[in-house]
Amino acid sequence: MNMKKNISNIALVVLLPLLLVACGLDNYDAPESTLLGKITYNGTAVNLRGTGEAVRLQLYQDGWQQRNPVEVFVGQDGTFSAKLFDGEYKLVTRDNNGPWVNARDTTVINLKGTTTVELKVTPYFMISGEQISVSGSEMNASFVIDQIVPTATINRVILILSSTQFADDANNVFRRDIPDIPAGPVSLKVDISGNANVANAKALYGRVGVQTSGVDQAIYSSVIKLR
């Protein structure tokens, strides 16, 4: 009986500090302000890979002992959001992450309540005028690759079909990489016969991407619903 009582006392001694710590943590206020933003070039949204937390931004705040940045994940339409405390923040792109020139210019944000910010970048390429269709056993895509940085080179063009609206080089039911495509107007046809995932998909979305040589991420067109 004494042994059981001693074990109970030990358990109580161990549990009590944990409860006190948990109660203490509950006393901290959660951040209530919201940062909303979009990555743009000349006022146009920059379309990206949105899955796998592939593209991130970093927020820094001076005066805190914790110098590690707050990681902000960017969606496929170039938008991002974060819940934060009021204060002054510095927003930068993550080093060598994204289909744009790695300038890492700082955008200063005075956050109070809901604040909207536009993060301007210089992509190596942009995609415009995209038209995508699936007819029978063929995927057809026409679009324009606009060269923004004269020295940039295209590694490959990526044609994508997805059964969800999240479509990129990692999330898809069909992907075809095509090298040696120059900037300018592009028209492509690829055979998709024999792809059961495409044939059986109740919904189908199309997208194209351009991968710049020596860059970690492709830039993308908007997502087009095909069925």
E runs forming strands in 70-173? 70-73, 79-84, 87-93, 107-111, 114-120, 125-135, 138-147, 154-162
User: Residue 196: what pLDDT?
Assistant: 96
As a whole number, mean pLDDT of residues 3-14 equals: 40
Other beta carbons less than 10 A from residue 185's beta carbon: 10
Which of 32-36, 37-41, 77-81, 160-164 has the lowest average pLDDT? Answer: 32-36
Q: What is the DSSP letter of 178?
A: E
User: Residue 13: what pLDDT?
Assistant: 39
> What are the structural domains, with CATH classification, of the chain?
33-120 (2.60.40.1120), 125-225 (2.60.40.2060)
C-alpha distance from residue 214 to each of 97, 102, 159, 161, 200 (Å): 11, 12, 20, 25, 36
Tens of pLDDT, residues 41-60: 999 999 999 999 999 999 99
Q: CB–CB of 100/122 below 8 Å?
A: yes
The full DSSP string for 193-206 is TT-HHHHH-SS-EE
CA distance 135 to 128: 22
Percent of the chain residues past pLDDT 70, beyond the cut: 86
User: Residue 28: what pLDDT?
Assistant: 59
Q: CB–CB of 101/149 below 8 Å?
A: yes
Tens of pLDDT, residues 161-211: 999 999 999 999 999 999 999 999 999 999 999 999 999 999 999 999 999
pTM (predicted TM-score): 0.84
CA distance 214 to 68: 27
**What DSSP element (H or E) covers 15?**
helix 2-26
CA distance 91 to 93: 7
Other beta carbons less than 10 A from residue 203's beta carbon: 11
Residue whose tokens read 């060269």? 147
